[in-house]
Structure 1
Amino acid sequence: MKLIFAIVSNDDSGMVSAALTKGGFSVTKLATTGGFLMAGNTTFIVGTEDENVDKVIDIIAKQSSRRSQMVPSATSMDVGMYTSFPVEVTVGGATVFVLSVDRFEKV
């Protein structure tokens, strides 16, 4: 048995959740925040048999698109003044962790 943690953008969260549920997987959702952009994410927790891991990852990958986004960035001038200018960053996609489960019980 495996435990899958998948961190996806809030923009993709609804589609990922619906696709996993439609695929017959039980899923737990946690609201999380990324450290780089301080943007909202959703962390999905899925427990499944070893043979279903690739199917779960495939579902998540199909529903989590990577895209470019312009975000404001500040830089410091010599006298303590700050100026803001947009920077293009890649957002979306998914970060997936797969862990082995030694024991599983539903009580």
Structure 2
Amino acid sequence: MKMIIAVVQDKDSPRLAQNLVKEGIRATKMASTGGFLHAGNTTFMIGTTEDKVPQVLDLIQSSCRSREQVVTPMSPMGSQLESYVPYPVSVQVGGATVFVIDVEQFEQF
């Protein structure tokens, strides 16, 4: 048994959820917030058998795409604010961060 934890951007969440349902793959969906951009994410927890892991990973990869976004960085902690001038920078966001974890025991009541 495996646990797949996928952190995806909120914009990709509906597409991934719909594709998982189409394939009959159950998932628990939780709202989460990223630490870098402080933007909304969705975390999917998917319990599955080991032989279905490649299928689930393919669904995640095809449902979640990366994109460029212009952001203004936050001021560094402890710096003098009058000397800090934030300039917008382009960063790559989206896609998915995925963890595949062995599950020692699974119970369903």
TM-score normalised by L of structure 1 = 0.91
Over 3 Å counting, the alpha-carbon distance change for 1:39 and 1:74 in structure 2 is closer
1:72 is aligned to 2:78: no
- In 2, Cα distance between equivalents of 1:38 and 1:79: 20
- What residue in structure 1 maps to residue 33 of structure 2? 33
Deviation, 1:103, is 1.2
Runs of 4+ aligned structure 1 residues displaced above 3 Å come to 74-79
What is the identity, as a one-letter code, of the residue corresponding to 1:97? F
Over 3 Å counting, the alpha-carbon distance change for 1:78 and 1:31 in structure 2 is closer
Contact 2:75 2:81 in 1 (8 A): no
Over 3 Å counting, the alpha-carbon distance change for 1:75 and 1:32 in structure 2 is closer
Q: Secondary structure at the match of 1:83?
A: coil
- In 1, Cα distance between equivalents of 2:57 and 2:80: 48
- 1:25-104 aligned within 5 A: 25-73=25-73, 80-104=82-106
Q: Secondary structure at the match of 2:55?
A: helix
Deviation, 1:32, is 0.4
Unaligned runs of at least 5 residues, structure 1: none
Q: Percent identity?
A: 45
Deviation, 1:74, is 5.3
Paired residues, number: 107
Aligned CA-pair RMSD: 1.9
- In 2, Cα distance between equivalents of 1:20 and 1:78: 48
TM-score normalised by L of structure 2 = 0.90
Deviation, 1:97, is 0.3
Over 3 Å counting, the alpha-carbon distance change for 1:64 and 1:79 in structure 2 is closer
Unaligned runs of at least 5 residues, structure 2: none
What is the identity, as a one-letter code, of the residue corresponding to 1:61? Q
Structure number with higher strand proportion:
1
Deviation, 1:104, is 1.0
Contact 1:74 1:82 in 2 (8 A): no
Cα-to-partner distance string for 1:61-81 (whole Å, 9 max, x where unaligned): 001001111111356897825
